[in-house]
A and B are shown apart, each in its own frame.
Chain A
Amino acid sequence: MSEDNQVSRKNFMEVAIWSIGGIITLGMTIPAIAYLIGPAIKKVQEQVWIRLGSVLKVEIGVPTLFKVKVQQRTGWIVNEEEISVYVLTEDGRNYIAMSNICTHLGCRVRWIAEGNSFFCPCHNAIFDQEGGVVSGPPPEPLERYEVKVEDNQLYILGG
């Protein structure tokens, strides 16, 4: 073996130190990233049918507000949260249920009977009674829930 091919003690230590240091750094960084993004990549809660109330409460042709409490688990805290849903029917048989969350930036819209439209106070957005955008910045109509009627009770699919 020639002199040049021999790995000196100094070079060996240098490679060893950088390698071990690199392994330790990776061993710390990868779990740290998983730890930080964990809650973001967690699967969302399973959707369940939520009972809103009697169909008789819904006036024909006018969005009717239902408020229901749902159990929500965020982190280690379980609490009751109130969600608001507008239900509209034209014929008393087919129902549409709309979220009151503005599709622009998440403020809450409310039904203004005189204007015959939904209004969002944050950026003056206006939606028609079926949730379609009339004016303002929202990119899409109000979100709809899947609806079913059982024994004259309205249910929506949410979670």
Chain B
Amino acid sequence: MATRLGNWIDERMGFRIVWDAIFLRKIPKVNWFYTLGSASLFVAMNQAITGILLTIYYVPTPDHAYDSVQFITTEIPAGWLIRGLHHWGASAMVVLVVLHMLRVIFYGAYKFPREITWMTGVILLILVIGFGFTGYLLPWDQKAYWATTVGTRIAGTPPLIGDTILRIVRGGADLSAVTLARFYGVHVWVLPASLILVLAFHLYLVIRNGISEMPKKGE
């Protein structure tokens, strides 16, 4: 029955060829360090799901942000869990993505024909850091406020254009409701949309070129 249903759908969608290309592709004999990319992907999916759930109660305005986060953590069933997963997942994300990058560097996996995979990976790293930076402000507590004060001030350090950059990032001269709203917008719309596009391309290239073999001694 299940096979017949599967066949019926496959005749119309051709999903098996896609499934096999993704999950049954041939790979060289590799070690556990080669799972860091998949681990990053897994945590990214965790961030997406828990992030969407958090938006159900979170309100990005100075008079509600902190209270709504406290409400999620203390009064909504499993709210502490959803927020906790998102909070710790954020740190895990940065750690995993950096380790993934180090593995690629040490095994020389960025070389021909995988240069574009590497470059999209660099963009993904920047996006992940962007997620971390914008997400850090959203709880609107003392740590969030002052970390973003410092972080945006750093963005304002380049000569000549520094002040303009600072004003663009903050949406004005000061850290305000405008800053919180735009950090939220970037965190939940701009960055996720960009991430999906670049990540899809990154994964396409990984599958299209296959993963690199481990370098051998003397090569």
Contacts and interface: CB of A to CB of B under 8 A. Distances in A.
Interface of A: 28, 31-32, 34-36, 38-39, 75-77
Contacts of B56: 35-36
B49 A28 contact: yes
Contacts of A38: 75-79
Interface string B67-103: 1101100011111011000000000000000000000
B157 to A, nearest CB: 37
Instruction: Classify the interface of chain A: helix, strand, loop or mixed.
Output: helix
Residue among A31, A34, A77 having the largest count of chain B Cβ atoms under 10 Å: A31
Interface in B34-60: 46, 49, 53, 56-57
A39 B56 CA distance: 11
B40 to A, nearest CB: 16
Contacts of B26: none
5 contacts: A35-B76, A36-B56, A38-B79, A76-B64, A76-B71
B53 A35 contact: yes
Contacts of B67: 76-77
A87 B125 CA distance: 67
Closest 8 CB pairs of A and B: A31-B78, A76-B71, A76-B67, A34-B77, A38-B77, A38-B76, A35-B78, A34-B78
B62 to A, nearest CB: 14
